[in-house]
């Protein structure tokens, strides 16, 4: 992959390269971009398209909130288990809201069924206008119990207009495996929420027992140890037959550096003095080594998914804004480049010029140990960039959004022109002729 550079010089270089390429490929012609249909983008107010657009956006917001709330619920449950400040009360409230919602939905449904029976003397399996009935019939008890953990879903089932509701059902249907895996890999105890209702039949609705008794045959260790395949199955991410394990921070092993004790990306030596690495901390502006850390949670709102042309990639389960620092690119820190699929060269955080290139510090190699950022595919029109920054006590490589990123989009980054020149590989990003340059 590309060497990480200083932000501005990287942009300047990219601009120059693109300009040169445009001139080389189509002399005398400006590079053409697809035309934007303004009517489609901003349909007339009150038209069918405009109403669909609004409903679609609302439904997207609700499903994003489902992912977000499941994650938060499980996080607070963990903190409550550790007696973390105020989390127990917070968790009890969250659980009560979910349980109460399920009780009410089942209770209201049963009351409708009973009153119909009292009036007509027979059971009528269709209760008019029951979204609860529609949802459980179409998607089952498990997805209902999982979604019930999100306040946006609880409100949506009652308050959303019909158009938004149809979009929401469709979106949840499209993402059932993703939602189930998301809940499973965070150990959401959705069974507890419907357990007490399994003993009696609920007329007109599927039996919940088989769903409660069927366990997802997939181990739970880390959410990023699972890839959703193209045919809707699950697999582990592997490199040369070995599981690619998740780590939170880069690993420095002195044995791999000939016994050298000092991690070359650190800003201070063992005695606390400066190692002359890095500039000021990007978070607090401190010129000396400090305790800042990147508090990014982007990794919690992405999933590993197989894509037809590029293999395992990253699908986002939220919105990101231009400028967001999504996470650190981490791996084993090595003195040399060992293979050329995953590693990135970590340079010092210095202004970079041709006559004075930034000093290389290490190779970050995530082929076995790394985080989700190692799976980001290349695109000649990327949505993120690798940036060298000084944060806290070390120089790091961050992944940052260079434009707004839409929900469920695949994240992309540029690996740099060299990646596609030196390898027997064809770029399949769909924006170039395979050469890796637009
Ligand atoms: C850093 S890895 C990304 C994760 C990889 N897709 C996987 O399945 O493990 C880089 C490799 O992904 C594939 N890849 C990523 N972007 C691509 C693109 N635009 N065109 C073709 N292959 C791509 C290539 O095999 C490349 O060597």
Q: What integer pLDDT is reported at residue 25 of this predicted model?
A: 44
Taking the C-alpha atoms of residue 424 and residue 436, their distance in angstroms, rounded to an integer, is: 12
Ligand 1 centroid distance, CA of 378 (Å): 7
- Ligand 1 site residues (CB inside 6 A) read 310-313, 341-342, 374-375, 377-379, 425, 427-429
Task: Report the interhelical angle of 87-120 vs 48-81 (nearest 10°).
Answer: 130
CA 403 and chain centroid, separation = 16
Q: Please tell me the predicted confidence (pLDDT) of residue 19.
A: 42
Burial of 294 (0-12, 13-18, 19+ CB in 10 A): middle
Distance 303 CA to ligand 1 centre (A): 16
Q: What are phi and psi of 107, to 5 degrees?
A: -60, -50
> What is the predicted pLDDT for the residue at 261?
85
To test ligand 1's pocket by mutation, which of 238, 239, 373, 377 has the most ligand atoms within 8 angstroms of CB?
377
Ramachandran area for residue 392 (φ above 0: left; ψ -120 to 50: alpha; else beta): left
65 Cβ contact partners less than 8 Å away, ≥ 6 residues apart: 150, 151, 152, 153
Q: Ligand 1 centroid to 188 CA: how many Å?
A: 32
What is the pLDDT at residue 16?
Answer: 40
CA of 419 to the centre of ligand 1 (A): 11
Q: What stretch of H or E contains 251?
A: strand 251-252
Given the DSSP bridges, would you call strands 384-391 and 394-401 parallel, antiparallel or unpaired? antiparallel
- Bridge partners of 400, per DSSP, are 325, 385
Please state, in angstroms and rounded to a whole number, the distance separating the CA atoms of residues 389 and 226.
30
* Phi and psi at residue 95, to the nearest 5°: -65, -40
Centre a 10 Å sphere on the Cβ of residue 38 and count the other Cβ atoms it contains.
8
Tell me the C-alpha distance between 163 and 87, whole Å.
37
- In a mutational test of the pocket of ligand 1, which residue from 240, 341, 381 has the highest number of ligand atoms less than 8 Å from its CB? 341
Pairwise CA distance, residues 193 & 325, whole Å: 36
Q: How far is the CA of 425 from the centre of ligand 1 (A)?
A: 9
CA 91-319-17 angle, to 5 degrees, is: 145
| CA distances from residue 34 to 21, 311, 346, 431 in whole angstroms, order as listed | 18, 26, 36, 11
- Both structure tokens of 328: 């650190």
- Give CA–CA dist 93/115, Å, rounded: 32
Predicted pLDDT at 27: 44
Q: Whose CA is nearest to atom 22 of ligand 1?
A: 310
The total number of residues shown for the chain amounts to 438
The pair of three-digit structure tokens given for residue 427, joined into one six-digit string = 């770029």
The pLDDT of residue 33 is 67
How many beta carbons lie within 10 A of that of residue 72, not counting itself?
A: 18
Give the CA angle between residues 132, 133, 137 to the nearest 5°: 115
Q: Which residues of the chain have pLDDT under 70?
A: 1-34, 123-129
Q: How far is the CA of 207 from the centre of ligand 1 (A)?
A: 44
Ligand 1 atom showing the smallest separation from residue 306 Cα: 8
Distance of CA 414 from the midpoint of ligand 1 (Å): 11
pTM of the shown model: 0.88
End-to-end CA distance of the chain: 17
């Amino acid at each position: 992959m590309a060497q990480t550079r200083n932000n501005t010089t990287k942009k300047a270089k990219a601009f120059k390269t693109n300009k040169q390429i445009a001139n080389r490929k189509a002399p005398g012609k400006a590079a053409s971009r697809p035309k934007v249909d303004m009517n489609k983008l901003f349909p007339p107010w009150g038209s069918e398209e405009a109403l669909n657009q609004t409903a679609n956006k609302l439904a997207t917001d609700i499903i994003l909130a489902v992912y977000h709330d499941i994650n938060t619920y499980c996080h607070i449950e963990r903190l409550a288990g550790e007696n973390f400040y105020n989390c127990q009360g917070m968790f009890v409230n969250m659980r009560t809201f979910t349980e109460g919602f399920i009780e009410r939905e089942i209770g209201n449904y049963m009351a409708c069924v009973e009153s119909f029976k009292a009036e007509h003397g027979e059971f009528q399996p269709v209760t008019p206008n029951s979204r609860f009935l529609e949802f459980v019939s179409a998607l089952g008890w498990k997805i209902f119990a999982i979604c019930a953990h999100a306040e946006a879903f609880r409100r949506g089932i009652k308050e959303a207009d019909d158009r938004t509701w149809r979009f929401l059902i469709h979106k949840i249907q499209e993402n059932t495996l993703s939602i189930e895996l998301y809940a499973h890999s965070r150990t959401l105890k959705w069974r507890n929420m419907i357990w007490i209702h399994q003993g009696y039949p609920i007329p007109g609705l599927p039996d919940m027992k088989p769903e409660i008794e069927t366990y997802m045959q997939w181990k739970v260790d880390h959410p990023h140890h699972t890839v959703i395949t193209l045919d809707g199955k699950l697999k582990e991410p592997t490199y040369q037959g070995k599981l690619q394990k998740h780590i939170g921070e880069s690993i420095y092993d002195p044995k791999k550096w000939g016994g050298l004790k000092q991690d070359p990306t650190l800003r201070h030596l063992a005695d606390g003095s400066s190692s002359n690495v890095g500039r000021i901390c990007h978070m607090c502006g401190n010129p000396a080594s400090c305790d800042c850390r990147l508090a990014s949670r982007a990794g919690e709102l992405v999933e590993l998914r197989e894509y037809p042309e590029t293999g395992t990639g990253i699908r986002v389960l939220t919105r990101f804004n231009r400028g967001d620092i999504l996470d650190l690119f981490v791996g084993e820190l090595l003195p040399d480049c060992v293979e050329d699929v995953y590693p990135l060269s970590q340079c010092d955080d210095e202004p970079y010029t041709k006559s004075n290139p930034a000093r290389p510090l290490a190779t970050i190699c995530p082929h076995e140990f790394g985080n989700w950022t190692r799976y980001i595919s290349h695109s000649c029109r990327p949505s993120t960039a690798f940036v060298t920054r000084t944060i806290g006590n070390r120089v790091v490589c961050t992944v940052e959004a260079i434009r707004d990123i839409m929900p469920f989009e695949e994240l992309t980054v540029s690996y740099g022109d060299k990646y596609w020149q030196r390898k027997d590989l064809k770029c399949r990003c769909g924006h170039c002729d395979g050469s890796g340059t637009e």
